[in-house]
Amino acid sequence: MSIANVDEIIIPAGEDYHTHLRHGDLMNMVVPHVRKGGICRALIMPNLTPPITTLEQVVAYKSELEGLDSSVEYLMTLYLHPSLTPEIIAGAKAVGVTGVKSYPRGVTTNSEAGIESYDVYYPIFEAMETAGLILHLHGEIPSNPDNDVCVMNAERSFLSHLEKLHAAFPKLRIILEHSTTKEAVALVKKLGPTVAATITAHHLELTVDDWAGQPHNFCKPVAKYPSDRAALRAVVKEGNPKFFLGSDSAPHDRTKKESCCGSAGVFTTPLLMPYVVTTLLEMGCTSEQIVGFTSANGRAFYDLPDLKQNITLVKESATVPQSYAYGEAGEVVPFKAGQTLAWSLRSQ
C-alpha cells in the first residue's frame, strides 16, 4: 500500500538482526535506547573483550541486558573461536543463542581472536546444522597489498567463501552481515533459501565520499560506490525477503572516533526506526516493503514468532542530538548528528 502524503504510520516494531551493545558504562547507556529507537527484538554481537565463547558468558551477558531493559527480546550469539565445541553448540539454544558470528582476524573492532580459515570449523558447522543455529558472516577478508585487497574490495574478495560454505552446508542458514556491494546482493539472491543478508540504515545512505575524512561515518565494511548503494536500495524496494534490517550500530567514544586511527562503527540505536523509515519513504517504499525490511523478512528467516508490538511514526521533523553521554565523561556521536529527520517516533 502506498503511504505517500500521510502524516502518521503505524507499523510493527522493528527487529534489528545485528547490533552491538558493548559492556560497562557504554552498555548502560546504549541498552535503554534500543526500545526508544523502535526495536522490540535484537540480535546481539559477541565481540566483547574477551569475546563471548562460552554458554556461561552468554547467560551472564543476557542477564545484564535484561536487567537494563526487559522489554526487548535479546537473541544471543557466540564468537566463532577454536574453543567452541559441538557440545557447546548442542546446548546453545537452551540459553538463548540463535547463531554463531564469524570474524576474519583483524578486519574490525575486537576481531583479533577471529578466524584465518573456515576449514577447521567444519565440525562446528555440522553441529550448527543439526542444532538449527545460524552462521553470521562478517564478509570481508583482511587487507593485503600483495593481493591488491583493501577496504573497497574486501567484501567482493570474500564472496567466494560464502559460495563455498553454502555448497558444503546447503542446509545451514547463513547470513552475510551488513552487505555493502552490488556483487553481494546478486550472490545472495542467486544462492539457495538458506542464505540471506542484512543491510544497515547507514549503508542505505552513505557512499565512500561520505566517510572519507568524516570519522563518525566510518564503519567496517566501509560504504562503497553510488552503484553499490543503488543495489542495496533496489533490493529493499523490490521487497526481496532474503534481505532485512541489521543495523550494525556500533558505539565508540568520541575520542576513539576522532583519532589518528579512528574506530570503525556508526551509532544508530537511539533513532534506528526513524532513520530507516525516513530513508525508505524518501525511496518511495510502500508500507509492505517497510514492514518486510524492518521486521517481517528477518523474523521469517529466523523462524520466530511475531511479538505483535506496534510503533507509531509521525511526520514531525526532529533534530538528531549532537551526542549521547555515558559514564563520568564519555560521549558517543550518533549518525547524522545535528541533522533533521523528517519522521519521528511517537513516545511509547
**Calculated CA dihedral for residues 75, 76, 80, 86, nearest 10 degrees:** -100
Rounded to 10°, the helix 122-131/154-168 angle is 60
What does the pLDDT average to over 218-241? 98
Which residue among the candidates 178, 202, 220, 336 is catalytic per the annotation? Answer: 178
Which residue among the candidates 20, 202, 203, 252 is catalytic per the annotation? Answer: 20
The pLDDT score that the predictor gives to residue 46 is: 97
The pLDDT score that the predictor gives to residue 4 is: 64
Number of independent structural domains in the chain? 1
Active site residue 18: yes
Query: What does each C-alpha distance from 129 to 94, 139, 174, 208, 261 come to in angstroms?
Result: 16, 20, 10, 37, 39
Which residue among the candidates 62, 81, 136, 248 is catalytic per the annotation? Answer: 248
Q: Mean pLDDT across the chain, nearest whole number?
A: 95
Q: Which domain holds residue 59?
A: 8-345
The pLDDT score that the predictor gives to residue 161 is: 95
Please check whether residue 82 lies inside any domain of the structure. Answer: yes
- Give percent above pLDDT 90 in the chain: 91
What are residue 244's DSSP bridge partners?
198
The pLDDT score that the predictor gives to residue 117 is: 84
pLDDT-based confidence at 91, cuts 50/70/90?
Answer: very high
**Is residue 112 over pLDDT 70?**
no
**Is residue 113 over pLDDT 90?**
no
Please check whether residue 80 lies inside any domain of the structure. Answer: yes
**pTM surpassing 0.85?**
yes
Which residue among the candidates 101, 202, 203, 336 is catalytic per the annotation? Answer: 101
pLDDT tens string 167-194: 999 999 999 999 999 999 999 999 999 9
**Pairwise pLDDT comparison (105 vs 317), residue with the higher score:** 317
**Is residue 66 over pLDDT 60?**
yes
Which residue among the candidates 18, 62, 216, 252 is catalytic per the annotation? Answer: 18
Please check whether residue 2 lies inside any domain of the structure. Answer: no
Please check whether residue 3 lies inside any domain of the structure. Answer: no
Active site residue 138: yes
Please check whether residue 145 lies inside any domain of the structure. Answer: yes
CATH of the domain at 15: 3.20.20.140
Active site residue 101: yes
**Cell matching residue 319:** 533534530
**Is residue 348 over pLDDT 80?**
no
pLDDT-based confidence at 143, cuts 50/70/90?
Answer: confident
What does the pLDDT average to over 240-250? 98
The pLDDT score that the predictor gives to residue 109 is: 62
Active site residue 203: no
pLDDT tens string 31-51: 999 999 999 999 999 999 999
Please check whether residue 332 lies inside any domain of the structure. Answer: yes
The pLDDT score that the predictor gives to residue 6 is: 86
Which residue among the candidates 33, 81, 138, 216 is catalytic per the annotation? Answer: 138
Please check whether residue 1 lies inside any domain of the structure. Answer: no
Please check whether residue 293 lies inside any domain of the structure. Answer: yes
